[in-house]
């Protein structure tokens, strides 16, 4: 697994961390993945840590089981640890809670099944009475595992379906934007789950020829623009600097007018500003303690879904849009002093 990661896995698309200190959360990521898997399997809140300790204890203490089963249990425990460690290193930028994704429940359950078998072996050795009693217990446990697996599969399917149901319309709308010469600020349409679907790819003659050329809805165009015609960058973008910005909520003071930088105090944890709609779009430079910004495009009565972007706290970041005649709402995730720089 380590060789796979060094040779190929490290080259796969992943989001950069906002700070090297984020890697200190990897042990918590691993622990969350290991314990949450067994909490979901048991259906008992807070039971994951106890079950994990029992499984590790079985690998350490059960000597009556065959040596091959004990070795397989240790291999499974090591595999589960290595899998979550690699996932944590590459996906900690998504947060510790990402370790609770349903796929990790499957992986941990399968890899640690031999350790569970050791526990059952130890229980069977201590049971008195007819041999059919432990057999019935094993059958009942297997039935519970199957039912729980079906439930987890259904949950996974429901979650993924909700994530991808809008992708066809999003792709067709993004293709229409680039076909019409729209100014793209962020190439990736969906950088986390579909990083290979990019504006340059959609602009290629091969892709344009393969896609249907229907008329996307206004909502679809705005939703696609919220991804590829909104930018959050450390460097200035190729759109005009905003002449004004509206302080929507959470700030002390009024709207910024005129050129230059203005410092404002945000009195709530999620202050919101807004760039007005213009024919060419605009951008603003923001400096503050925020670790992420969430952007929403508005055009007339239409509103896009929010899109979150990771940023480096304390460093200037340019946030803007090239979508014509659409205002951009920008929500920060931290209060305190925020410096806004306009034209």
Query: What value does the mean pLDDT of the chain take?
Result: 86
Place of tokens 């065959």: 66
Q: Are residues 182 and 313 in the same domain?
A: no
Nearest to 190 by CA among 213, 207, 173, 210: 173
Q: Are residues 24 and 148 in the same domain?
A: yes
Instruction: State the DSSP code for 330.
Output: E
The pLDDT of residue 61: 85
Q: Which two tokens stand for residue 186?
A: 């962020």
Judgement on whether residues 21 and 152 belong to the same structural domain of the protein: yes
Cβ(117)–Cβ(74) under 8 Å? Answer: no
What distances in angstroms separate CA 267 from CA 131, 213, 284, 328, one per listed residue? 68, 48, 21, 21
Q: Are residues 36 and 137 in the same domain?
A: yes
Residues 245 and 191 in one domain: no
Q: How far apart are CA 178 and CA 191, in angstroms?
A: 17
Residue identified by tokens 């691993």 is 30
Over range 190-199, report the average pLDDT: 81
**CA dihedral in degrees (54, 87, 18, 291; nearest 10)?**
-60
Residue 253's pLDDT is 67
Distance from C-alpha of 329 to C-alpha of 276, rounded to nearest angstrom: 9
The widest CA-to-CA distance across the chain, in whole angstroms, is 87
pLDDT for the residue numbered 177: 94
Which residue in this structure is represented by tokens 């039935």? 143
Distance CA 29, CA 237 (A): 35
280 in the same domain as 202: no
Element (DSSP H or E) covering residue 260: strand 260-266
d(CA 337, CA 229): 28
Residue 162 CA, chain-centre distance (Å), reads 14
Q: Are residues 98 and 143 in the same domain?
A: yes
Task: State residue 204's pLDDT score.
Answer: 93
Please check whether residues 105 and 196 belong to one and the same domain.
no
Contact by Cβ (8 Å): 62, 114: no
Q: 156, exposed or middle or buried, with CB in 10 Å at 0-12, 13-18, 19+?
A: middle
Are residues 305 and 341 both part of a single domain?
yes
Asked if residue 255 has pLDDT above 60, the reply is no
**Final residue before a domain boundary, out of 198, 228, 258:** 228
Q: Residue 29 has which token pair? A: 């990521």
Q: What is the CATH number of the domain that holds 339?
A: 2.60.40
Contacts of 274 (CB under 8 A, 6+ apart): 245, 246, 248, 327, 328, 329, 330
pLDDT at 278 over 90: yes
Domain end point (choices 228, 247, 273): 228
Give SS3 for 257.
strand
Domain co-membership, 108 together with 180: no
**Which run of H or E residues covers position 336?**
strand 336-342
Count of residues making up the chain: 343
Confidence bin at 136 (pLDDT 50/70/90): confident
User: Could you tell me the pLDDT band of residue 304, with boundaries at 50, 70 and 90?
Assistant: very high
**Looking at the structure, do residues 139 and 188 belong to the same domain, yes or no?**
no
Dist CA 230 CA 318 (whole Å): 11
The total number of structural domains in the chain stands at: 3
Of 132, 228, 116, 133, which is closest to residue 172 (Cα–Cα)? 228
**pLDDT beyond 70 at 257:** no
Residues 330 and 246 reside in one and the same domain:
yes
Q: Which domain holds residue 224?
A: 173-228
> How do residues 30-89 score in pLDDT, each as one tens digit?
999 999 998 888 877 888 889 899 899 888 888 877 888 889 999 999 999 999 998 888
């Amino acid at each position: 697994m380590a060789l796979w990661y060094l040779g190929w896995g490290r080259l796969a698309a992943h989001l950069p961390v906002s700070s090297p200190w984020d890697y200190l959360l990897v042990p918590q990521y691993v622990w969350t993945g290991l314990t949450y898997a067994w909490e979901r399997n048991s259906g008992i809140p807070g039971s994951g840590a106890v079950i994990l300790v029992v499984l590790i204890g079985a690998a350490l203490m059960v000597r009556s089981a065959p040596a091959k089963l004990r070795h397989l249990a240790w291999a499974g425990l090591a595999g589960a640890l290595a899998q979550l460690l690699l996932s944590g290193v590459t996906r900690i930028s998504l947060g510790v809670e990402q370790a609770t994704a349903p796929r990790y429940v499957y992986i941990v359950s399968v890899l640690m099944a031999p350790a569970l078998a050791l526990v059952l072996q130890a229980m069977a050795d201590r049971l008195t009475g007819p041999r059919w009693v432990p057999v019935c217990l094993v059958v009942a446990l297997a039935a519970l595992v199957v039912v729980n697996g079906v439930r987890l599969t259904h949950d996974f399917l429901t979650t993924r379906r909700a994530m991808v149901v809008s992708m066809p319309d999003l792709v067709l709308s993004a293709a229409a934007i680039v076909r019409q010469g729209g100014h793209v600020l962020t190439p990736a349409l969906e950088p986390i789950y579909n990083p290979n679907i990019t504006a340059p790819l959609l602009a290629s003659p091969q892709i344009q020829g393969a896609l249907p050329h229907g008329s996307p809805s206004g909502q679809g165009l705005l939703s696609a623009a919220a991804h590829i015609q909104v930018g959050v960058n450390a460097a200035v973008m190729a759109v005009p600097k905003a002449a004004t910005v509206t302080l929507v909520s959470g700030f002390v003071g009024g709207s910024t007018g005129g050129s230059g930088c203005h410092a404002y105090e945000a009195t709530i944890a999620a202050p919101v500003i807004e760039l007005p709609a213009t024919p060419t779009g605009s951008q603003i430079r923001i400096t503050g303690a925020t670790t992420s910004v969430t952007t929403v495009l508005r055009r007339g009565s239409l509103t896009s879904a929010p899109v979150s972007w990771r940023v480096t706290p304390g460093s200037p970041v340019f946030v803007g849009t090239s979508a014509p005649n659409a205002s951009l709402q920008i929500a920060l995730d931290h209060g305190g002093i925020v410096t806004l720089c306009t034209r």
